[in-house]
Homo-oligomer: A and B are copies of this chain.
C-alpha cells in the first residue's frame, strides 16, 4: 500500500485529519520516564498508545532524536517500528535536501533505515535535489513551501515579482508525476494557504503551527482542505504530547477539526 492509500485508510478509520508530532524534549516529559532505561521510546509509546485511535499520522522530527546521538536515533527506530505495526503512516520530518547522489543517501536513510512512509524535504537546491526522494513512488514527499515561523518573511514571502513560496508550489505541482508529492504550509497564513491549495489541486498539505504556534483550526480546514474536505494533515506536537492528558487533547483537537469539515 502506498503512502496516499495508507493515509486515506488511517484517516478514515480514525475519522481524523490530526497528526501528532513526536518531538520529545527530555526536559518536558513526566519525571517518571527519566530514570528509566529508554525514556524517549517509553514516552513515545505512551503517547502513541493514548492517541492511536485519534490520528491519521505521526510525525517525529529527526532533530529531537539526533541531539541525543546514537541513543536518540535508536529510540527513533524503535518508535517508527512500533508505529509501523499499527498501519498508521510515519511522516519523518527532516527537511533534508542536497545534490543528487547525496539526496539519494538521505532518501535511503529515511525510507529504508528509519522506517518512514513519508518525509519532509527542503526545496532550496531545486528539482534534482528532490528527485531521488520522488523515485520512491510508494512514499510521500512533503516539500517545504510556506512555513509558520517569523523567518518565513526573509525569503519565502520576500517582496518579489513572484513570491518564492508560490514558485515552489508551482514547481512541486510540475514535479508530481508519480502522484507522491505534498507540501508543508504553516497554519498561520490562511490567505496564502488558500492560494496554494488552488495551485496544487488535491495534493496533500501538511500543516504545522496549530496550537503552540497560534494557527487557527477553522481557517486551516476551510482554506487548506481540498474540495472533498480531504488531503490536509494538521500537525500538533507540544500542545498534545505535553498536556496532562494527551488522549483528551488529541480527541478535542480531532473533533474541533472535524466540526469544520464540509
Contact of A244 with B by CB under 8 A:
no
Task: Decide if A150 touches B126 in the complex (CB within 8 Å).
Answer: yes
Interface 9-mer from A8-16, A35-43, A95-103, A254-262: A95-103
Among candidates B74, B97, B99, B108, residue contacting A122 with C-beta atoms closer than 8 Å: B97
Among candidates B95, B101, B161, residue contacting A96 with C-beta atoms closer than 8 Å: B95
Contact of A33 with B by CB under 8 A:
no
Task: Decide if A124 touches B124 in the complex (CB within 8 Å).
Answer: yes
Q: Given that A66-B109, A70-B74, A124-B156 are contacting pairs, would A61 and B98 also be in contact in the complex, using a CB cutoff of 8 Å? A: yes
Interface 9-mer from A164-172, A199-207, A215-223, A224-232: A164-172
Interface 9-mer from A46-54, A141-149, A190-198, A245-253: A141-149
Could you tell me how many residues of chain A have their Cβ less than 8 Å away from some Cβ of chain B?
A: 59
Q: How far is the CA of A149 from the CA of B97 in the complex (A)?
A: 12
Task: Decide if A147 touches B66 in the complex (CB within 8 Å).
Answer: no
Q: How many copies of this chain does one complex carry?
A: 2
Among candidates B77, B158, B161, residue contacting A167 with C-beta atoms closer than 8 Å: B158
Task: Decide if B152 touches A113 in the complex (CB within 8 Å).
Answer: no
Q: How far is the CA of A48 from the CA of B127 in the complex (A)?
A: 33
Task: Decide if B164 touches A69 in the complex (CB within 8 Å).
Answer: no
Task: Decide if B73 touches A126 in the complex (CB within 8 Å).
Answer: no
CB distance from A169 to the nearest CB of B (A): 12
Among candidates B69, B106, B155, B168, residue contacting A168 with C-beta atoms closer than 8 Å: B155
Q: Contacts A25-B101, A69-B113, A125-B156 known; list 7 others, CB within 8 Å.
A: A67-B106, A68-B113, A69-B114, A99-B147, A122-B124, A126-B149, A127-B154
Q: Which are the 10 A-B pairs with shortest beta-carbon distances?
A: A126-B151, A126-B154, A63-B105, A66-B109, A67-B105, A128-B151, A69-B113, A127-B151, A67-B109, A160-B160
- Provide 17 A-B residue pairs closer than 8 Å at the C-beta atoms, listed in order of the A residue: A61-B105, A66-B113, A67-B105, A67-B109, A69-B109, A69-B113, A73-B73, A95-B98, A95-B122, A100-B149, A122-B122, A123-B155, A126-B149, A126-B152, A129-B151, A155-B164, A160-B161
Q: Which residues of A contact B (CB under 8 A)?
A: 23, 25, 61, 63-64, 66-70, 73-74, 77, 93, 95-103, 105-106, 108-109, 112-114, 122-130, 144, 147-156, 158, 160-162, 164, 167-168, 171, 213
